[in-house]
Amino acid sequence: MQLIDPFGRTVRDLRISITDRCNFRCAYCMPEEGMAWLDRKEILTFEEISRLASICVGRFDVDSIRLTGGEPTVRAHLPVLVGKLSQLKVRSGADSPRAGKKIDLALTTNGATLRLLANELKTAGLERINISLDTLQSEKFFRITRRDHLTNVLDGIDAAIHAGFSPVKINAVIQRGVNDDEILALARFGREKQVEIRFIEFMPLDAQGEWRANSVVGQDEIVAQINQVFPLEQVAARGAAPADRWRYLDGGGTVGVIPSVTKPFCGDCDRVRLTAEGQFRTCLFSTTEFDLRAKLRGGASDDAIAAEIERAVGTKWAGHAIGNVTFVRPKRSMSQIGG
Ligand code: SAM
Ligand code: SF4
C-alpha cells in the first residue's frame, strides 16, 4: 500500500535524524552555546529506528532512507545502524524502480570524521553520501562552523570518493555577505573532484532566528554566476528530488541548486521525517508532529503505528509559505528536525 497525501503526492523518502547533537556549530543552524540537547533515553534506539523504518518500507513502499541529524556520525556505532537498514528491501510488487531490491540508503554529514568512517560505512551497505562544505577558506570555515576542521572535511570528501560512494554530493548553503563570493570557487571544486555541488538557499531554520530574506542568495543568481564562466544547460526532469540540476556544456559534470525559498518544490515533495526522539513530521516546516516514540514505548502493534503514520500523512499540507505573511516558523530548528 502506498502513502498518498491529501494533495495526491506519494511518500517515498524517509529522512531519519539519529541525533540532535553535533561536533560543529554552524552559525546558520545553531548558536555557539546554549542548545538544549536531548537526553540519551529520549532518543530512539537503533531497534526502534529499524522497526519504524521497516514499517515504512514494508507496508508503505518507501524506497529511500536518508540518515541525518544533528551530525549522524557523532552517534556511536553508526555502521551498525547502517548495516541493519541496508538490509531493508522494497516489496517486489511495489510501484518503485527499486521494487524487489534494497532501499536507497544515504547519509548527510558534515564530513569531519568521514576519513575514519567512510570505508566502514560503505562496507555496512551505505550507498550515497552528501557532505556539507560551505567554503574553501579555512578562516571562513571557522567563522561559519565555529570549528577548525576544513582539512578534515576535505580529507573526508576524498575518503568518500575513494570508498566508492556513488554519488558523492557536496551541500553548500550560500548566505549573502558570508560566502556568496565563493560560488564559483565551489563550482570549480566540484568540477575538479567530479562531484556534484548542490547550492542550498538559506532557510529560516536557524536556532537563533536570525534569518532574513535579504541573506538568501537565490537560485537565479547562483546559476547566472556559474553560467558566465562555465556555460550550463538545465537537466530536464527533477522529479521529486529537491535540487534543480544543470550540466556543464564542456562535459565538466553537473551542479544543482535547492531553491527552497525562491522556488519551493513542495508540489513534488515525496518526503516525511522522523526526529531523533521519534516525532514524525510531514514537512521541514511542519508545526505539528506525531509521537511515534510514545506508540513504540507504549507497546503499540505495527498496525497501530502504521495507522498513526497514515494519519500523519493525511495532514500533510500543500506547501510552506516562506516569505509570505502567513509563514509560521516551526518551533524546532534545522538540527532538531533533521535536515
Ligand atoms: N550535520 C549534517 C550536515 O551538516 O551535513 C547533517 C544535518 S544538517 C542540519 C543537513 C543540511 O542542512 C546541511 O547540508 C546543512 O548545511 C543544511 N542546513 C542547516 N541549516 C540550514 C539553513 N538554515 N538553511 C539551509 N540549509 C541548512
Ligand atoms: Fe551541525 Fe550540520 Fe547544523 Fe552544521 S548544519 S551545526 S554540521 S547539524
Cα gap 330→44, rounded to integer Å: 22
In a domain, 8, yes or no: no
| 110 CA → ligand 1 middle, Å | 8
- Residue 323 has a pLDDT of 59
Cα gap 79→239, rounded to integer Å: 30
- Residue 76 has a pLDDT of 96
Q: Whose CA is nearest to atom 8 of ligand 2?
A: 70
| 339 CA → ligand 1 middle, Å | 5
Cell representation of residue 88:
531493508
In a domain, 95, yes or no: yes
In a domain, 1, yes or no: no
In a domain, 6, yes or no: no
The domain in which residue 300 lies consists of 13-337
Number of independent structural domains in the chain:
1
- The vertex-113 CA angle with 175 and 45, nearest 5°, equals 100
Q: What is the DSSP string of 133-149?
A: ---S-HHHHHHHHSS--
Does residue 217 line the site of ligand 1, with CB under 6 A?
no
Does residue 202 line the site of ligand 1, with CB under 6 A?
yes
Preceding peptide of 167 cis, ω within 30°? yes
Name the H helices within 90-132.
114-124
- Residue 267 has a pLDDT of 84
- Residue 325 has a pLDDT of 59
Alpha-carbon distances of 66 from 47, 264, 304, rounded to whole Å: 17, 20, 24
Strands (E), the chain: 13-17, 64-68, 104-109, 128-132, 168-174, 196-201, 232-234, 244-248, 254-258, 271-274, 279-281, 290-291
In a domain, 4, yes or no: no
Instruction: Split the chain (339 residues) into runs of 10 and give each run's mean pLDDT.
Output: 92 97 95 92 98 97 96 97 98 94 97 98 97 98 97 98 95 97 98 97 88 94 98 86 93 95 87 96 89 98 98 88 66 78
Q: Is the separation of the CB atoms in 16 and 338 below 8 Å?
A: yes
In a domain, 75, yes or no: yes
- Residue 318 has a pLDDT of 82
The domain that contains 158 carries what CATH number? 3.20.20.70
Does residue 335 line the site of ligand 2, with CB under 6 A?
yes
In a domain, 192, yes or no: yes
